[in-house]
A = this chain, B = another copy of it.
Amino acid sequence: MSHKYSAILSNVGSCADRFLTSGYSHPFSVSELFARVVQIPQISGVELIGNWHITENNVKEIKNHLDEHQLQLVSIIPDHFGQMKWKYGSFAAKDPAIRAEAIAHTKEMIDAAAELEGNLISLWPGQDGYDYLFQADYIQERDWFAEGIKEVCEYRPDMQISLEYKIKEPRTHSYLSSAAVSLLIAKEIGTNNIGVTIDFGHALNAYETPAESVALLKRYGDKLFHVHMNDNFRHWDDDMIVGSVHTIETLEFFYWLKRTGYQGWLSIDQYPYREDSLEAVREGVNAMEAFTRMVDRIPSADFDNLIREGKSPTITAYLRNLLLT
């Protein structure tokens, strides 16, 4: 099968962390980021982040960038995490004015996406959750969260709204924590245009097997709308280069994407703090392509049989022959 490859635009830029807030590299302008990302030949689309890259006021300028570089708009990720005002949450904030702003900004980004011929909003409400025990009204705040999501889903039924779950960070606990929680919310909202983004690393952090998360979303309504790729050491969202740690999990993930007929984008979401970020994304894409090819050149009956039998020595022997010889 052939996949469509993309990247979040900031991934080819500079990264910061809490100890080095000015960034591990010099900053790049949006123009420079576009010029960098197109140096990766397999990439045909980009994801843009609200405020970081796109606002309601620079849509024309972004359109020019996309046109100039013949890139598709894969998604907009509205900003629900990168300004001081979101510090107590966005859709689930205790303050009704903030909740209203979260919805309003999302609608603006939906309109911007439509104008840019995009059809996907990837929502990452990373500030919705809590840090401390006894800090949150878990029922009320989930109600608010669902109300906000519902309103943005109903705003424009032709725009897909995809929920990106993550078990923690920046809050110690997120409301949108897992594939299953995302499905509960998607069922509650009930519109056709709501779905789920799997971030490979977020799945690992929640002790999900990423391939199983693909299957779960398939089984409960064909709800896998989007994929973010990276890797990590399981305990934290290290946002490393695709395939750099979990060879077999990544292979199984690509196999299940094929098995379930996933048609969406595969988008890089790495944080190359110390790496040359362009080279890191390039290699991430190369890795995605290599996993895709490997899955394609294996007779599908092979994996089907392994799974049907479920015998671990046979599975392990097969993978050994595949990977090590």
A84 and B25 in contact, given A286-B320, A324-B294 (Cβ under 8 angstroms): yes
Bound-state CA distance A298–B181 (Å) is 32
A271 and B18 in contact, given A233-B172, A244-B248, A324-B294 (Cβ under 8 angstroms): yes
> Interface residues of A, CB < 8 Å — how many?
107
The 8 Å CB contact of A183, one of B184, B209, B320, is B184
What are the interface flags for A273-306 relative to B under an 8 Å C-beta threshold, 1 for contact and 0 otherwise?
1111001101100110011011000000001001
Instruction: Spot the interface stretch: A61-69, A108-116, A129-137.
Output: A129-137
Interface: A313 (CB within 8 A): yes
Instruction: Spot the interface stretch: A29-37, A156-164, A189-197, A212-220.
Output: A212-220
Instruction: Spot the interface stretch: A98-106, A147-155, A235-243, A261-269.
Output: A235-243
As for how many copies of this chain the complex holds, the number is 4
> What chain B residues lie within 8 Å of A212 (beta carbons)?
136, 138, 173
> What chain B residues lie within 8 Å of A138 (beta carbons)?
211-212, 215-216, 219, 256
A241 and B170 in contact, given A87-B24, A291-B324, A307-B135 (Cβ under 8 angstroms): no
